[in-house]
A and B are shown apart, each in its own frame.
Chain A
Amino acid sequence: MALAHRGGIGRYYNINGWLFVAPALGLIALFMIYPILWSLWMSFQSGRGMMLKFAGFANIVRLWNDPVFIKALTNTMTYFVVQVPIMILLALILASLLNNPRLVGRGFFRTAIFLPCVTSLVAYSVLFKGMFALDGIVNSTLEAVGIIASPIPWLTHPFWAKVLVIIAITWRWTGYNMIFYLAAMQNIDKSIYEVARIDGVPAWARFTHITIPLLKPVILFTTVISTIGTIQLFDEVYNLTEGKGGPSNATLTLSLYIYNLTFRFMPNFGYAATVSYVIVVLVALLASLQFFAARERDR
């Protein structure tokens, strides 16, 4: 570092530093920073298609009087509040079970549970749509086992359609989160568990008092990643519901609403940009909230 400030060599060092990072910075500036600022500007404008004029806070006022937006927001929050905790907990439990070296066949179990991660979001949504059809394999199996008496209308009932979306995302992403925890568990000293076991600490208490506190940074990381992903949900809902977010907007997400506002209905770029900033604010808010909560608990 001292070199950096010594005349000619320092300048050579500095110029090289900029040259190496310039292409990435340029592309990110052009395709991320510029558009994100532009859509902020757009959110204060209104009009059809490209004929926009300044509208102040009219779009924000419109948000609160738009029942479809409120529905999309509630749905998105429901997915996030219900799905992320279920998935994180499931992934943690699976990881701690599969971390046990005495478990026979754990290599197979790991690979199997991780396998959903290789599918594209579109491909698995299409598969789920077929499996959860009214007379499809899921309903017929549940009926045969005797869990349900009549088929569940997964795709046509507002409540069950949401449940289906949550089941689908959990299937796709649990294994993904699990490998983060398994990787982090490699770094935990095994003797801690041995000592706790000898002292008669039951398995569940070992999980809540040793595993979870030690994994906190990774849990935080995966929670933030999952939050960002869930709030932006699009592919699954689009493909499970033929792009409609139905039945009667029961599964509509914010991203899908923006898509509809821009590319399906009469385009209103200004209003769509305003909705997109709701996502920006939500992501920023929830991510910083999670960091804050984790730091507070540290004290």
Chain B
Amino acid sequence: MNNGSARIAGAIVTYGFVGLMAFLSIFPFVWMLLGATNSSIDIIKGKMLPGSALATNISTFFTQVNAPLVFWNSAKIAILATALTLAVSSLAGYGFEMFRSRRRDRIYSALLLTMMIPFAALMIPLFIMMGKVGLINTHLAVVLPSIGSAFVVFYFRQCTKAFPSELRDAAKVDGLKEWQIFLYIYVPVMRSTYAAAFIIVFMTAWNNYLWPLIVLQSNETKTITLVISSLASAYYPDYGVVMVGTILATLPTLAVFFFMQRQFVQGMLGSVK
């Protein structure tokens, strides 16, 4: 085989492989969209053409599920958890980086180890704790344990390294207090860091499953993720309705991804670069 045909063969293999992987990655999304337009039987039989059941599926979804309430629950939890996590973590990241001391550096190293703690080892004590203070079946019980996150603190500390210290020195000369420097200078300067962290924390909170499954026991408090899960685990799940649910649950994160792709990837990468 001469050099030219070897190169062509290489290109065919490359494009074939990458193309196949891209196809397999996208296929479930296409299947989900088509599924929403078909009846449950057609979906399970693997029909890959648009059907006429979209209106039926949507109306069944809205009669089976109190959609506005479920979405409100998900949004409330995700927004509250994200706002508090960002506030607490950026304060800590700023504090660890700007006010270095040997003791705090040591605590910081220990803090990073908590990233390895598996949630399964926390859920029983957390459940008992929430029971004792009467927070079972409240959204507060979902939000509270998620605020303190070593990963997000780590992310903010790494990004704070790029914060120009001249800005801080100048503000000090102007007589600003430490909290004023943080609030009026650090926060606006670091907005792209906040944007990336927002996306990643919001997505985690929106998609959170195991802990809400444990603490949210009544239908009035359930989130969209819990609702899809219970729709799909019925003995004979109505897949058309399930598809409508998964589309609605995926839409917010999908929208964020397409409109803020750069920050999205930056947030995913954390501070590995």
A287 to B114, CA, bound (A): 13
The proximity string for A residues 103-134 relative to B, scoring 1 for CB distances below 8 Å and 0 otherwise, is 10000110111111111111110111111010
**B119: chain A residues within 8 A (beta carbon):** 232, 255
CB contact list, B16-35 vs A, under 8 A:
17-19, 21-26, 28-29, 31-32, 35
From B24, B95, B254, give the contact of A171 (CB < 8 A): B24
The proximity string for B residues 47-66 relative to A, scoring 1 for CB distances below 8 Å and 0 otherwise, is 01000000000000000000
From B26, B45, B95, give the contact of A19 (CB < 8 A): B95
Shortest A66–chain B CB gap in Å is 16
**A50: chain B residues within 8 A (beta carbon):** 128
A138 to B24, CA, bound (A): 11
A31 to B44, CA, bound (A): 43
> Which one of A119, A174, A255, A284 has the highest number of Cβ atoms from chain B below 10 Å of its Cβ?
A119
**A279: chain B residues within 8 A (beta carbon):** 118, 120-121
**A19: chain B residues within 8 A (beta carbon):** 95
Q: Are A231 and B118 in contact (CB under 8 A)?
A: yes
Q: Are B14 and A97 in contact (CB under 8 A)?
A: yes
Q: Are A115 and B91 in contact (CB under 8 A)?
A: no
Q: Are B25 and A113 in contact (CB under 8 A)?
A: yes
CB contact list, B228-253 vs A, under 8 A:
228-229, 232-233, 239, 242, 246, 249-250, 253
**B250: chain A residues within 8 A (beta carbon):** 118-120, 123
Tally A residues with Cβ within 8 Å of B. 100
B148 contacts A by Cβ under 8 Å: yes
A34 contacts B by Cβ under 8 Å: yes
Q: Are B48 and A183 in contact (CB under 8 A)?
A: no
Summarize A's interface: helix, strand, loop or mixed. helix
Q: A31-B122, A112-B26, A269-B124 are in contact. Are A203 and B10 (CB under 8 A)?
A: yes
Shortest B229–chain A CB gap in Å is 5
Q: Are A235 and B210 in contact (CB under 8 A)?
A: yes
Q: Are A137 and B48 in contact (CB under 8 A)?
A: yes
Beyond A126-B228, A136-B46, list 18 extra A-B contacts (CB 8 Å): A17-B101, A21-B95, A21-B96, A24-B148, A30-B148, A31-B126, A31-B144, A39-B124, A109-B22, A116-B25, A118-B256, A120-B250, A120-B253, A140-B45, A228-B118, A231-B118, A239-B229, A255-B210
CB contact list, B98-115 vs A, under 8 A:
98-101, 104, 107, 111, 114
Which A-chain residue is minimally distant from B233 (CB atoms)?
A242
A131 to B30, CA, bound (A): 12
The proximity string for A residues 35-54 relative to B, scoring 1 for CB distances below 8 Å and 0 otherwise, is 11011001000000010000
Closest 4 CB pairs of A and B: A20-B95, A17-B99, A27-B148, A120-B207
Q: Are B114 and A32 in contact (CB under 8 A)?
A: yes
Q: A14-B101, A113-B25, A120-B249 are in contact. Are A20 and B92 (CB under 8 A)?
A: yes
**A248: chain B residues within 8 A (beta carbon):** none
A283 to B116, CA, bound (A): 7
A32 to B114, CA, bound (A): 8
A5 to B267, CA, bound (A): 37
Shortest B262–chain A CB gap in Å is 12
A63 contacts B by Cβ under 8 Å: no
Q: Are B118 and A21 in contact (CB under 8 A)?
A: no
**A119: chain B residues within 8 A (beta carbon):** 28, 250, 253
Q: A20-B92, A24-B88, A239-B229 are in contact. Are A140 and B46 (CB under 8 A)?
A: yes
A25 to B239, CA, bound (A): 45
From B10, B23, B229, B257, give the contact of A118 (CB < 8 A): B257
A60 contacts B by Cβ under 8 Å: no
Q: A13-B99, A28-B150 are in contact. Are A21 and B92 (CB under 8 A)?
A: yes
**B29: chain A residues within 8 A (beta carbon):** 115
A277 contacts B by Cβ under 8 Å: yes
**A169: chain B residues within 8 A (beta carbon):** none
Which A-chain residue is minimally distant from B22 (CB atoms)?
A112
Q: Are A103 and B14 in contact (CB under 8 A)?
A: yes
From A32, A35, A180, A239, give the contact of B269 (CB < 8 A): A180
A214 to B209, CA, bound (A): 37
Shortest A97–chain B CB gap in Å is 6
